[in-house]
Structure 1
Amino acid sequence: METPEIEKSKVHITVEIIEYVPNSVVIKTILKKSTGNISVMSFDAGEGLTEKTTPFDTYAQIIEGTAKIVIDGESHELMTGQSIIIPAHAPNCIKPNGRFKMILTVIKSGYD
């Protein structure tokens, strides 16, 4: 089931858009367009995402906690307030490192 976007023209506290759910990864769409999307995600302790590749660059921002993001075999430890661009077509995964929340932004247009 597709979650609706958050309400427009309303102030939001980003870290409060999504809650932790025990033993789960939760994803909520902030904005979804044909040219890209923005999602906020929460990861309970011990939860992560398996290795994948995407055809577009992805901007990952940690908004609470810490996360380990592995890009093309290189591990990056990110803390609250830090971000990284995951390049298109690069194998990547998110490994458990306690509870954390992050925003993922994917821009699909104008790709070379």
Structure 2
Amino acid sequence: MVSKNVLKRPTGNLSLFAFDKGESLSTHTAPFDATVQVLEGKARIVIGGEGHELVAGETVIMPAGIPHSVEATEKFKMLLTMIKE
């Protein structure tokens, strides 16, 4: 998995992520709401124990403080938008 911060501001961040099939981000929480927009490929995103299969063009909201994880079910790129305010 590789990532790159595209924009970093006091009000939020934009970060690009690229995963090979099978790579993942383990379960964790974040202090702010965030969205994941799938740019390419497919991934399984679990939020609060509920799984979501996402494909290119789909977006999901990850609420602050709720455990979530991301696993690439094939090569996968996403844009993470962290909303601080």
Matched, 1:59 2:38: no
Which has a greater percent of strand? 2
Q: Normalising to structure 2: TM-score of the pair?
A: 0.96
Q: Which of these residues, 2, 11, 22, is aligned with residue 46 of structure 1?
A: 22
Partner of 1:68: 44
2:32–2:65 contact (8 Å) kept in structure 1: yes
Aligned-pair CA distance for 1:73: 0.4
2:42–2:72 contact (8 Å) kept in structure 1: no
Superposition RMSD in Å: 0.7
How far apart, in 2, do the equivalents of 1:105 and 1:90 lie? 16
Aligned AA (1:87): P
Q: Normalising to structure 1: TM-score of the pair?
A: 0.74
Between 1 and 2, higher relative CO (CA 8 Å, sep ≥ 6) is seen in 2
Matched, 1:34 2:10: yes
Aligned-pair CA distance for 1:29: 1.0
Aligned AA (2:43): A
Give % identity: 48
Aligned-pair CA distance for 1:96: 3.0
List runs of 5+ in structure 1 lacking aligned partners.
Answer: 1-24
* Higher Cα radius of gyration: 1
Aligned AA (1:69): I
List, as ranges, runs of 4+ consecutive aligned residues in structure 1 with deviation greater than 6 Å: none
1:3-34: per-residue Cα shift (whole Å, max 9, x none)?
Answer: xxxxxxxxxxxxxxxxxxxxxx1001110012
